[in-house]
Copies of this chain bind each other. A is one copy, B any other.
Amino acid sequence: MFNAIVSAGTLGTALDSVSVLVEECKIHLNDDGIAIRAVDPANVGMVDLTLSEAAFESYEADGGVIGVNLSRLQDIAGMASSDDLVHLELDEETRKLHISIDGLEYTLALIDPDSIRQEPDIPDLDLPATIVLEGRDIDRAVTAADMVSDHIALGVNEDDEQFYVDAEGDTDDVHFELDRDDLIDLTAGPAHSLYSLDYLKDMNKAIPSNAEVTLDLGEEFPVKFHFDIAEAEGSVTFMLAPRIQSD
């Protein structure tokens, strides 16, 4: 059983954060909210999303799992204005999702969850450095790095208490550093890892520029990006595996 009402804006934000990595996903319809975990086909980027019951106008569910095509669902949500309410109701018999927006009813065929790539176990890494910064700073770093290279180093300078971003191209380089004063918070620790810009660019698209983003970072370890959505009634965690650095 699943019967819920949510604003088109909240639904869209949640879907966007998953669709940057995968085309299809399983949605867990838990009794306290929905949850999605997904990993891209190359096993490099993962997303873990929760949207609690409180992010919905009304919410009833009892623990089922559905499989959806994300771009289709985004198109439907995209027809509504951000404040419009979207009514979602699962028809258990036909395994279709009925989506109503102000008189418009869309019947969405679901995908067999068993046919969707298995959900990842997102490891509980104990990373030594934690940086809290604004989404817009991630955007600046990624945009600049993309002008010179296809990979990017993220790290912490423990002595100067700085978070830094480095991208080295064939002729040009980009360096971006944020002091403790430029950051919302910093727990310095040994951290320097290289990542694929293609993935970071995709994840960056889903990070609101005014979001407070927490980065967990280590030495040649995955990076985790964590931020809240839906007025903190939901949260997104991205995890990105490092590239092996050839020195």
Interface residues of A (CB under 8 A from B): 72, 75-76, 79, 103-109, 140-141, 143-144, 147-148, 171-178, 182
How many Å lie between the Cα of A141 and that of B104 in the bound state? 8
The verdict on A172 contacting B109 (CB below 8 Å), with A76-B147, A79-B140, A144-B79 known, is: yes
Q: Closest B residue to A162 by CB, please name it.
A: B103
Apart from A103-B177, A106-B144: 11 A-B pairs, beta carbons within 8 A: A76-B144, A103-B176, A103-B178, A104-B140, A104-B141, A104-B175, A104-B176, A107-B172, A107-B174, A107-B175, A109-B171
A172 close to B72 (CB less than 8 A):
yes
How many Å lie between the Cα of A163 and that of B188 in the bound state? 64
User: Chain B residues near A178 (CB, 8 Å)?
Assistant: 103
A182 close to B75 (CB less than 8 A):
no
Please list 20 pairs of residues, one from A and one from B, whose beta carbons are closer than 8 Å in the complex, sorted by A's number. A72-B147, A72-B172, A75-B147, A76-B147, A79-B143, A79-B144, A103-B177, A103-B178, A104-B140, A104-B144, A104-B174, A105-B176, A106-B144, A106-B147, A106-B148, A107-B172, A107-B173, A107-B174, A108-B172, A109-B172
> Which residue in B72, B76, B103, B172 is a CB contact (below 8 Å) of A106?
B172
The verdict on A105 contacting B174 (CB below 8 Å), with A75-B147, A79-B143 known, is: yes
How many Å lie between the Cα of A148 and that of B75 in the bound state? 11
> Which residue in B105, B140, B141 is a CB contact (below 8 Å) of A175?
B105
Q: Closest B residue to A166 by CB, please name it.
A: B105
Minimum Cβ distance to chain B for residue A96 (Å): 8
How many Å lie between the Cα of A215 and that of B144 in the bound state? 39
User: Chain B residues near A177 (CB, 8 Å)?
Assistant: 103, 105
The verdict on A106 contacting B174 (CB below 8 Å), with A140-B79, A143-B79, A144-B79 known, is: yes
How many Å lie between the Cα of A6 and that of B75 in the bound state? 40
User: Chain B residues near A175 (CB, 8 Å)?
Assistant: 104-105, 107
Minimum Cβ distance to chain B for residue A72 (Å): 7
User: Chain B residues near A72 (CB, 8 Å)?
Assistant: 147, 172
How many Å lie between the Cα of A107 and that of B144 in the bound state? 11
User: Chain B residues near A172 (CB, 8 Å)?
Assistant: 72, 106-109
How many Å lie between the Cα of A177 and that of B106 in the bound state? 12
User: Chain B residues near A144 (CB, 8 Å)?
Assistant: 76, 79, 104, 106
